[in-house]
Amino acid sequence: MSKKIAIFVNHPQCSIQSVNGVMEALPEYSFKIFTKHHVERSFFDDVHMVCFPGGIGDSDSFDDLLRKNKDEIKKIVQQGRPYLGICMGAYWCDSFYFDFLKGTRVVQYIKARGACTKRPHAKAIPITWKGHQDRMFFYDGCTFEGGDYVTVATYAETGYTMAMTQENLGLIGCHPEATQHWFDSYNYMKEHWHHGMHHKLLNQFVKKLL
């Protein structure tokens, strides 16, 4: 029986496109979708991981979107269930939101000192993932400051952490789940389509957490 991932969707903050991308990247897992509406008490009982994907919008929408399910999610993650956060989902691990991280802050990469870009718009940003250099879909992604964690990937031009794990948390600033449609939507991005390689990276990342 495949392991099950509960994945949150509320377009555009945790977008339909990002949810679909995660599902496409992780075909060996089954998914339970939940929204801002209250879930039944047993919803998370058979779930092996909780995933909050990326999207567009203000991270402060967290208070409204997670008001009804926040306490249950905090309970299962603090008990050891893995949490996968991509872009917006990574921001929501910060102390202002779920407050899962130990001694680490989640900050906008574009505001970090010496960042290779100061604009949040979509781009194929240079990254290094376990020693392999590539370009990954970026849209106002985050980096991480302070605390102890394992760096999985960096923004190649600055060395700032782009993907990391801390105990049962797995957080990614860019979008390895991006599908070909994302790249085809921007003429300047088409040449950077990863042909499924980034989906394999996300799959490996999730397996390590599970």
Q: In this structure, what CATH number is given to the domain that contains residue 80?
A: 3.40.50.880
What's the pLDDT at 134? 97
The SS3 assignment for 6 reads strand
Q: How far apart are the first and last CA of the chain?
A: 14
Range of the domain at 115: 4-209
- The full DSSP string for 14-66 is B-HHHHHHHHHH-TTSEEEEE-SSPPPTTTTTT-SEEEE---SS-GGGHHHHS
Residue with tokens 């789940």: 177
pLDDT, one tens digit per residue, over 31-48 is 999 999 999 989 999 999
Domains of the chain: total: 1
What's the pLDDT at 11? 95
Q: What is the rounded average pLDDT for all residues in the chain?
A: 97
pLDDT, one tens digit per residue, over 119-146 is 999 999 999 999 999 999 999 999 999 9
In the predicted structure, residue 150 carries a pLDDT above the cut 90: yes
Q: How confident is the model at residue 57 (pLDDT cuts 50, 70, 90)?
A: confident
28 dihedral zone (left: phi>0; alpha: psi -120 to 50; beta): alpha
Give the span between the Cα atoms of 119 and 111, in whole angstroms. Answer: 9
